[in-house]
Amino acid sequence: MQHLVKQDSIVRKIWGKADTVLFIFAGAAAEFALNKAVDWLYFTGKLPADPLGRLFSTVTYSQRVIFSTTDAAYAAIDQITAIHKHVETARGTQIPDWAYRDVLFMLIDYSIRSYELLERSLTLAEKEEVFEVFYRVGIRMHIDGLPTNYASWKIMRESHLNQDLQFSDFTRDLFKQYRQHLGLIRYVLLRLVQALMAPERVKTLLTLRNVHLLKPLLYMYKLSESVKLQGYLRNALLPSKYKIQIQDIEQVKILTH
């Protein structure tokens, strides 16, 4: 049975663990809020109304692509494309190509950053594999102007960070929604994770402080895995109503093997 992402791929290791997936979306949540096309996420009202629900919906689609057979993965990608086209039709204009690229670039970048933060440094070949998987997703979505290799992606990624981000009223409102849905303590934890995860451009625009105390806290969190506490700590980082969704993140790799 053919899979879009091979069984021993580093991408499956990254996306098959709840901690790395949640860190990916913690980082992406910061950058999403700054993107100049974030108004598209406000058009349907779903993101500000339920930012955490939107997160888990995105996780579900991403894991369907990564852990499914090639045909099922393509079906999931096509469904994502159709959803975007429907929104474009409803609004009467098109989502810019650079905005599609930005989202794809975030998935590549934060996949690498999350795994390296929580696990180990990736080899160049592994980073190229992460790029290749999401490049194929972009090609299936008919996204124009994609770089064709990891080295070119790094250059374009830096350019996009400098050109496509700004602090706006949408940014301010979205972080207000994060705080409202998470509560103060979890919101502070989100900001701490974002300070560890985000590129310098994002940290500057959001005034995220990379406090030196964060490294020992991260070490303690990683150490908690060896004494079987990490699952309890992870569940504490999100409201209890999302406990099942958190468990489902790691279940998907079992169900699709």
**Other CB atoms closer than 10 Å to residue 85's CB: what's the count?**
12
The torsion angles phi and psi of 93, rounded to 5 degrees, stand at -155, 170
The rounded distance, in Å, linking the Cα atoms of 147 and 196 is: 27
Cα–Cα distance for residue pair 110/236, rounded to 1 Å? 22
Axis-axis angle for helices 51-67, 243-255 (nearest 10): 10
Spans of all domains in the chain: 10-251
pLDDT in 10s for each residue of the chain, 257 residues:
688 899 899 999 999 888 888 889 889 999 999 999 988 878 877 667 777 777 777 878 888 899 999 999 999 999 999 999 999 999 999 999 999 999 999 999 999 999 999 899 999 999 999 999 999 999 999 999 999 999 999 999 999 999 999 999 999 999 999 999 888 988 988 898 899 889 999 999 999 986 666 667 676 666 655 545 455 556 666 666 666 666 666 665 544 55
Which positions ≥6 away from 158 have C-beta within 8 Å?
none
Q: What pTM was computed for the model?
A: 0.88
